[in-house]
């Protein structure tokens, strides 16, 4: 462990002494108690835009009233443009609103790494709403997080998607490998970029770690991330994995943001 991440860890431990993580709502920070489901207070539990209604059958994001069919605008546009996404199916537990944003920001930027495990629990319960526990345990050969670039990892001290994925995989009794993929370079923010520009921005940003190459052929892989936005990232990773023979690549995110064309 580097000196920097060690100091960060001690800092987080000290923070836990002042603000015991179980006592505060992970969304609004109000005092609650650790018996609360997902450590959310009543208000935040109600305000979270849980993905319980109609969902896109491809990417899993919540459908809106203007989506007449079984797919979101983005997925149906992709079909029309001829670009076929490389991933097979997506799942998201909530729509990306103010509540989901607060929780994700607390995890990523607020020193609340403990939230990763709680999000893992939410992901697991969400999957159990569609599959039996035994079925889920046999669905994937490996669960892996979307990797962050080494510079970001150094700054933050952890990969938030890895914490979420670990929490999910241990409950789902699935094999978890946080080192399957490497992010070879950073990318510019996707906001404001068109579909082609987004694909170009992320192209070549991920590689499979050399030692994992033999494991990919024929594998069913589940990618984990905090938020699914344009889908370009999971699409790119899925394409790399499929090029190396992966049989199936799905993704599971805590939140899905608005409707965009990949």
What value, to the nearest 5°, has the Cα angle with vertex 44 and ends 231 and 172? 55
Candidates 107, 127, 110, 108; CA nearest to 118 is 107
Q: How far is the CB of 154 from Zn ion (least distance, A)?
A: 31
Decide: is 104 part of the binding site for Zn ion (CB under 5 A).
Answer: no
As a whole number of angstroms, the distance between CA 111 and CA 101 comes to 15
As a whole number of angstroms, the distance between CA 43 and CA 27 comes to 10
Question: E-strand spans in 52-177?
Answer: 89-95, 142-145
By CB under 5 A, name the one of 48, 63, 72, 100 that touches Zn ion.
72
Closer residue to Zn ion, CB minimum distance, 28 or 193:
28
Decide: is 58 part of the binding site for Zn ion (CB under 5 A).
Answer: yes
Decide: is 28 part of the binding site for Zn ion (CB under 5 A).
Answer: yes
Decide: is 115 part of the binding site for Zn ion (CB under 5 A).
Answer: no
Closer residue to Zn ion, CB minimum distance, 54 or 152:
54
Residues 6+ apart with CB under 8 A from 105: none
Q: How far is the CB of 28 from Zn ion (least distance, A)?
A: 3
Residues binding Zn ion: number (CB under 5 A): 10
CB distance 149 to 186 below 8 Å: yes
Closer residue to Zn ion, CB minimum distance, 5 or 101:
101
Binding site for Zn ion (CB under 5 A): 25, 27-28, 41, 44, 56, 58-59, 72, 75
């Amino acid at each position: 462990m580097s000196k920097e991440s060690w100091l960060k860890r001690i800092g987080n431990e000290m923070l836990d002494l002042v603000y015991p993580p179980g006592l505060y709502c992970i969304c609004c920070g109000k005092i609650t108690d650790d018996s609360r489901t997902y450590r959310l207070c009543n208000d935040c539990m109600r305000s979270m835009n849980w993905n319980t209604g109609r969902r896109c059958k491809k990417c899993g994001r919540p459908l809106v009233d203007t989506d007449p069919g079984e797919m979101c605008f983005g997925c149906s546009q992709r079909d029309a443009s001829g670009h076929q996404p490389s991933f097979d199916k997506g799942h998201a537990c909530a729509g990306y609103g103010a509540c989901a944003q607060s929780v994700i920001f607390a995890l990523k930027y607020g020193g609340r790494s403990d939230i990763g495990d709680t999000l893992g629990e939410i992901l697991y319960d969400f999957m159990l709403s569609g599959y039996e526990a035994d079925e889920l345990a046999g669905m994937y050969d490996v669960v892996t997080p979307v990797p962050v670039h080494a510079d970001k990892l150094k700054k933050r001290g952890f990969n938030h998607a890895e914490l979420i994925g670990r929490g999910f995989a241990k409950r789902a009794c699935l094999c978890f490998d946080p080192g399957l993929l490497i992010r070879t370079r950073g990318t510019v923010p996707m906001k404001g970029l068109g579909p082609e520009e987004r694909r170009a921005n992320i192209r070549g940003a991920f590689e499979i770690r050399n030692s994992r190459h033999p494991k990919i052929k024929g594998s069913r892989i589940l990618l984990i991330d905090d938020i699914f936005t344009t889908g370009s990232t999971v699409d790119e990773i899925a394409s790399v994995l499929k090029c190396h023979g992966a049989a199936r690549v799905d993704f599971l995110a805590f939140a899905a943001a608005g409707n965009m064309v990949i």
